[in-house]
């Protein structure tokens, strides 16, 4: 049985940990509001850009279609762009992203596809390397900036497009978390390159409208497709930041509650041990007095 000194030391240690988790929870809550607002504000722009692309892509086809839209004509080599966080203490967020990436890799390998990984963020590297060390093509570090933004998304997009132009892969898929709430962040897999042709819904207000583009659809798509890739990556980074803060706030809240429960249990043990020690001393005093 632990001594009174050991129990008191454990109680003080848990209290110190509880202060840290509580402070981390409050910081994550403050950052979550900004990160969530940024992610939600970026979504309408991406949706509108997809609508414009749908209109343009419907007018371009065959040999005139840009390579980023038409692809290489093959689907053998896959590049999985996995977006993880740079910091820990965010529950099972990174584990879920890695799980989705590994599952997708196994599916592709099972049907005979060649798979490589393009890792963004630090926390997903080690678990993926343990199983697919020889398949990790590139590791892009975003930890040097406080909040990754469009500059980092543009750098990643330029690198991916350059690799695609060199023929290093046929299809790139983006694996990242979508922020739903502080309790829910869903890993998702989207095709990034070649850019999937969005479909125009029949009830869209632009459906059936006659639109003339100047200078031309092909020229506009040549400029628009790289921006679309950058926008998708930028949105993924924003979703990652919001997901990280939401998961961190929830995890730290649970840790704070668990620390409180542990403090209560240790305090009860401490009081019982102290009471037992006092009782033993009293019995010894009484026994000594009776012996006299």
Q: At 209, is the secondary structure helix, strand, or coil? A: coil
Annotated catalytic residue within 7, 39, 42, 90 = 90
Q: At 34, is the secondary structure helix, strand, or coil? A: helix
Rounded distance between C-alpha atoms, residue 130 and residue 102, angstroms: 11
CA distances to 30, 52, 163, 196 from 221, in Å: 40, 10, 19, 13
Rounded distance between C-alpha atoms, residue 40 and residue 46, angstroms: 11
Give the DSSP H or E segment for 65.
none
Rounded distance between C-alpha atoms, residue 214 and residue 14, angstroms: 67
Rounded distance between C-alpha atoms, residue 130 and residue 109, angstroms: 17
Q: Is the bond into 194 cis (omega within 30 degrees of 0)?
A: yes
Q: Which spans in 58-124 are helix H?
A: 67-70, 93-110
Rounded distance between C-alpha atoms, residue 273 and residue 279, angstroms: 10
Residue that the structure tokens 């012996």 belong to = 291
CA distances to 169, 175, 250 from 14, in Å: 51, 37, 19
45 catalytic, yes or no?
no
Rounded distance between C-alpha atoms, residue 185 and residue 197, angstroms: 26
Rounded distance between C-alpha atoms, residue 245 and residue 238, angstroms: 11
Residue that the structure tokens 């500059």 belong to = 151
Q: Which residues are catalytic?
A: 90
């Amino acid at each position: 049985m632990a001594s009174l000194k050991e129990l008191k030391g454990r109680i003080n240690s848990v209290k110190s940990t509880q202060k840290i988790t509580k402070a981390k929870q409050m910081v994550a809550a403050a950052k979550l509001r900004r990160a969530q607002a940024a992610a939600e504000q970026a979504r309408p722009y991406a949706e509108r850009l997809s609508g414009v692309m749908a209109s343009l892509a419907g007018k371009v086809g065959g040999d005139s279609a840009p390579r980023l839209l038409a692809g290489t004509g093959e689907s053998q080599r896959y590049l999985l762009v996995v977006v993880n966080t740079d910091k820990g203490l965010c529950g099972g967020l990174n584990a879920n992203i890695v799980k989705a990436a590994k599952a997708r890799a196994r599916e592709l390998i099972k049907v005979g596809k060649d798979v490589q990984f393009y890792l963004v963020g630090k926390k997903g590297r080690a678990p993926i390397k343990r199983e697919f060390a020889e398949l990790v093509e590139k590791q892009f570090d975003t930890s040097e900036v406080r909040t990754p933004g469009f500059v980092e998304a543009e750098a990643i997009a330029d690198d991916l497009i350059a690799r695609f132009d060199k023929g290093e892969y046929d299809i790139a898929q983006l694996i990242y978390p979508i922020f739903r709430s502080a309790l829910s962040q869903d890993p998702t897999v989207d095709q990034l390159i070649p850019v999937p042709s969005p479909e125009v819904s029949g009830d869209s207000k632009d459906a059936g409208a006659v639109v003339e583009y100047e200078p031309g659809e092909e020229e506009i798509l040549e400029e628009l497709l790289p921006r679309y890739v950058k926008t998708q990556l930028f949105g993924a980074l924003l979703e990652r930041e919001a997901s990280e803060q939401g998961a961190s706030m929830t995890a730290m809240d649970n840790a704070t509650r668990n620390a409180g429960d542990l403090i209560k249990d240790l305090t009860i043990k401490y009081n019982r041990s102290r009471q037992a020690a006092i009782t033993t001393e009293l019995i010894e005093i009484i026994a000594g007095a009776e012996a006299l």
